[in-house]
Amino acid sequence: MYHIFNVVSEMQSFMLIGLVQFLHDLFTAIWIGGLVTMAVAVLPSLRKVLGMNPQTKMLSETIMSRLSKLVMLSMVGLLLTGIMMSNRSPLFEGFFAVTNEYSMILTIKHILIAVMVVLSLLRSQGLSRMGLDPKKETKISMVILILNLIVGISVLFMSGLLSALSTMGL
């Protein structure tokens, strides 16, 4: 009888770990996928078809506003699921530790994520409050978006390295 309860308990743990990993991956896909979509497809297409005019700006701001709500939710979700996942690896030494390769890469990943959050907030909240010329604001916004995309791809690379280290048990 004990064996049955042990199997059920392991299955519940397996499902919970799988759910947390799924949510973490989903939140990552929303955030980084949104950056890729905006930078590579949506904004260039809007400018090509509609040109640089007030309607283009209004449409891109509307799209970014809707997407930023998903991104903010994803940031919170990533924080919560990341905390839940962090102690799963025996290589985890604590947040911002540099005592082994795994912890050092995780620390770099967390720093990059903090940079992404700052860039996202600057782009969504800060630029409009600076009172810049609309053309200059648009250019700076695009530069921040591309920079955030590059940092986001770096975060995904760090995640790949962490996964490889966990699998190898180094």
| Tens-place pLDDT, residues 128-139 | 777 778 778 778
CA dist list (Å): 39 to 8, 42, 50: 46, 7, 16
User: What domain range includes position 79?
Assistant: 2-168
What value does the mean pLDDT take over residues 82-108? Answer: 80
Give pLDDT, residue 168.
Answer: 77
Least Cα distance to 86 among 162, 155, 168, 9 occurs for 162
For the ranges 19-28, 33-42, 64-73, 81-90, the lowest mean pLDDT is seen at 81-90
Tell me how far apart the alpha carbons of residues 120 and 142 are, in angstroms, rounded to a whole number: 12
When the pLDDT of each residue in the chain is averaged and rounded to a whole number, the result is 84
Least Cα distance to 75 among 142, 15, 23 occurs for 23
Least Cα distance to 112 among 100, 96, 98, 99 occurs for 96
What value does the mean pLDDT take over residues 45-64? Answer: 84
- For residue 3, pLDDT beyond 70: no
Q: Would you put residue 119 in left (φ > 0), alpha (ψ -120 to 50) or beta?
A: alpha
- For residue 23, pLDDT beyond 60: yes
Number of compact structural domains in the chain: 1
Residues 6+ apart with CB under 8 A from 111: none
pTM for the whole thing? 0.78
Give pLDDT, residue 27.
Answer: 94
Q: Count the alpha carbons within 13 Å of 124 in the hemisphere toward its beta carbon.
A: 19
